[in-house]
Amino acid sequence: MAISIFLPVALLGYLSYGKSKEQLESVSSQFLEDNVRLNAQQINNFFVNVEKQSQNMMASLELQKVLTKKPPKTYSEEVSFINRMIEIIIQRQGPYELYVIPKDMRNYPNYMKLINTNKIELRPKLFELAFQQQGKGVWFHVWDENTKKPVFIYIRAVRSSYYYEPIGVIAYQIPDDTLREEFVLPSSFHNYQMMMVDSEDKIISHPNANLYNQKYSTTGGWSTADMKLNEQGWKLIAAVPTKDLTGNIDQIQNFTVWIVIGSLLFISLFLSLIVRSLTLPIKRLVTHMVKVRTGALGHFGYNDSRTDEIGQLVRGYNQMISGMSDMLERTKEMEADKRRHELETLNHQINPHFFYNTLDAIKWRAESANQNNIASMVTKLANLLRFSLNNDKEWTTVEREIEHARNYLEIELLRSNRAFQMYFQVDPETIKLKVIKLILQPIMENAVKHGINKLPEGKGKIRLTVKRSDLDIIFIIEDNGPGSSEPIELEVYNDGESERQHGIGLSNVNKRLKLHFGNDYGIHIQSNPGQGFRVQLRHPIISEV
């Protein structure tokens, strides 16, 4: 009896050990290939993103104008060139370090001094290489003596949109650390290495930066997999010690033997009891838990009269399900009430003091003298009030929202006798699109109060730009006021000093956008001390009204 049980189980254990070893080696090899394929896709996506950034930069008409102008002949002309170029780079730089270099850089000595070109190495061959790519860019790598690590550089020629002649070069400079952040490495293998080599199998990226530019060669005891990255012959290589993948085979063998022996000792005594009393109920409970994970909250049906651990577990589990169901319902109701109340509060939070001050100004003018602009002020103020109230409707169009903001600015011109200039640049495709109401006027009010009013008479400028970006509408409001020397946090605009300095308008608009559409939408502020204040508002495209 004992022999008839022991021999088959022992043979099964031996066969399982051999099969497990083969499968482990096969899975390890497939694991390496899958991981290197995943990381190659990550790196290629990274390269594509950089190329898209360069395409966006090359599409700039302002950049075309600056590079096609004749080289500066005086120091002041070169300073004007530098200021304009810096402005273009800041607007379109993106997340990577960007350089724009004119074709004949010898005519721009002061501009070249401002550029950190230690890594780019501005040589004529570099320009020739970029100009030969026929509209494409090229990647190369250099060693950075400052960080003692490689740096990857993507260069691309900028060509005239009229004659297709090269007029300059753009270059993106990316540290090796930034590129390596794209790698997805398995946390369970401490000796796992991911590296990149060029077309000559020389290492260009490695966890150990000291191996840069050394010839890569496979050695015994390592399992590797590689994949080509780009047309320049770069490859991505994943390497891990074979022992880390397969483990200690002797330990697996000894463990298998002890498992077989232990199993034989207990199988005949407790198998029936375990299957009947524990295994089957737990298996059913686990199956029920899987359904609960999909969102189907329901009680586990079982014999409630059991007083053992299984019965206690089932009763406790069912009580937990009941509590979760009640808590979810209460949470849904609370969140719905909270969101409704926040929206109502924010929609009525816009400071009405401006309307009161305007009415006081009209009264003063009427009492002082019979001026022709009083009728205009009254008309525009009536339009403001009508738009703001509008039977509590929360939605309007881009066209009406812009007209509301224009009315506000024109009233400010009449009310304060403080001249400033207004510029509106609106994409015609956006004017009929649907937006939430009162998102521009608070920002215009902030620009007048904290920007234009702090400038000499007639020097103030406010610019509104409206454009479409994929599935979003972008509003950009800029003024040439003194800006802010302190970092601005919209989250604290309704608390303390920030509220006194900037009011609640920006915070109100930002919160309403996020409550309606999520954290991807709202306001982004860019303030340069002494150079103005810039607010970018992102609103999703809903539909035409």
pLDDT digits (tens, 9 = 90+) for 395-442: 899 999 999 999 999 888 887 777 899 999 999 999 999 999 999 999
pLDDT at 86: 87
SS3 content of the chain, % helix, strand, coil (to 5): 55, 20, 25
pLDDT at 105: 79
The per-residue pLDDT of the chain, averaged, comes to 79
- The answer to whether residues 239 and 222 touch, using CB atoms and an 8 Å cutoff, is yes
Binned at pLDDT 50, 70 and 90, residue 346 comes out as low
pLDDT at 499: 44
Region 58-85: what's the mean pLDDT? 87
- Detail the DSSP E strand segments found in 356-419: 395-397
Binned at pLDDT 50, 70 and 90, residue 331 comes out as confident
**138 vs 501, which has greater pLDDT?**
138
Region 38-44: what's the mean pLDDT? 90
| φ/ψ (deg, to 5) at 538 | -110, 125
**62 vs 123, which has greater pLDDT?**
62
pLDDT at 2: 44
Chain segment 181-231, per-residue pLDDT in tens: 888 888 777 788 889 998 888 998 998 888 898 888 876 678 888 888 888
Candidate ranges 239-248, 364-373, 504-513; pick with highest mean pLDDT = 504-513
pLDDT at 492: 44
pLDDT at 264: 67
Distance CA 406, CA 129 (A): 51
pLDDT at 6: 52
pLDDT at 494: 44
Specify the 3-state DSSP secondary structure of 446. helix
What's the gap between Cα 210 and its chain centre? Answer: 32
Chain segment 443-478, per-residue pLDDT in tens: 999 999 888 988 888 889 999 999 999 999 999 999
Binned at pLDDT 50, 70 and 90, residue 350 comes out as low
Q: How far is residue 298 from each of residues 280, 283, 309, 315, 344, measured CA to CA in Å?
A: 19, 17, 21, 13, 37
**381 vs 518, which has greater pLDDT?**
518
Candidate ranges 19-28, 186-195, 284-293; pick with highest mean pLDDT = 186-195
The percent of residues above 90 in pLDDT, for the chain, comes to 16
Binned at pLDDT 50, 70 and 90, residue 541 comes out as very high
What's the gap between Cα 403 and its chain centre? Answer: 33
Region 386-390: what's the mean pLDDT? 60
Strands 420-426 and 460-469 turn out to be: parallel
Among the residue ranges 43-47, 285-289, 331-335, 338-342, the one predicted with the least confidence is 338-342
Distance CA 241, CA 251 (A): 17
- The answer to whether residues 460 and 452 touch, using CB atoms and an 8 Å cutoff, is yes
Answer yes or no: is pLDDT of 388 > 70: no
Residue 315 is classified by DSSP as: H
Answer yes or no: is pLDDT of 169 > 50: yes
**301 vs 122, which has greater pLDDT?**
301
Of all helices (H) and strands (E), which one includes residue 536? strand 532-540
Region 483-508: what's the mean pLDDT? 62
Q: For 303-312, which contacts have Cβ atoms below 8 Å and span 24 or more sequence positions?
A: 308/277, 310/277, 310/278, 310/281, 310/282
Among the residue ranges 219-228, 255-264, 331-340, the one predicted with the least confidence is 255-264
pLDDT at 379: 66
pLDDT at 502: 52
What's the gap between Cα 244 and its chain centre? Answer: 36
Answer yes or no: is pLDDT of 73 > 70: yes
Chain segment 24-38, per-residue pLDDT in tens: 667 777 878 888 889
The percent of residues above 70 in pLDDT, for the chain, comes to 72
Angle of helix 505-517 relative to helix 441-450, nearest 10 degrees?
A: 150
Answer yes or no: is pLDDT of 117 > 50: yes
Of all helices (H) and strands (E), which one includes residue 523? strand 522-528
pLDDT at 221: 76
Structure tokens at 137: 């860019």
